[in-house]
Structure 1
């Protein structure tokens, strides 16, 4: 299953590069014109981390 833009951005910018969620939001807005609020990104990150724990 292919990952969506928000998930890819969180994985690349936040998890791999160690930047904060504000930079993820800025990247999505500038590159794709997607206006993602910090709360949405935070919830998506928590969901990703919980799924990762469930798999491990």
Structure 2
């Protein structure tokens, strides 16, 4: 998967630190001025988890 801004934020906040998607939304909005929909973040996270299972 591409290492874009959303993917990096999801990996750092949700997968590594165990935080929720609202915190990822807030981080992207405050730090980078990016308004990401929660549904988009959820789908990206699901895709990342499926990719991890396929690799493992």
Alignment of 1:26 with 2:38, yes or no, is: no
Q: Distance in 2 between matches of 1:55 and 1:2?
A: 15
- What is the TM-score with the length of structure 1 in the denominator? 0.93
Q: Distance in 1 between matches of 2:39 and 2:54?
A: 23
Q: How many residues align?
A: 56
Name the CA shift for 1:51/1:23 in 2 (closer, same or farther; >3 Å). same
SS of the residue aligned with 1:36? Answer: coil
Deviation of the 1:15 alpha carbon: 1.0
Q: Distance in 1 between matches of 2:45 and 2:22?
A: 13
Structure 1 unaligned spans of 5+: none
Structure 2 unaligned spans of 5+: none
- What is the TM-score with the length of structure 2 in the denominator? 0.93
Kindly report structure 1 stretches of 4+ aligned residues shifted beyond 4 Å. Answer: none
Deviation of the 1:44 alpha carbon: 0.1
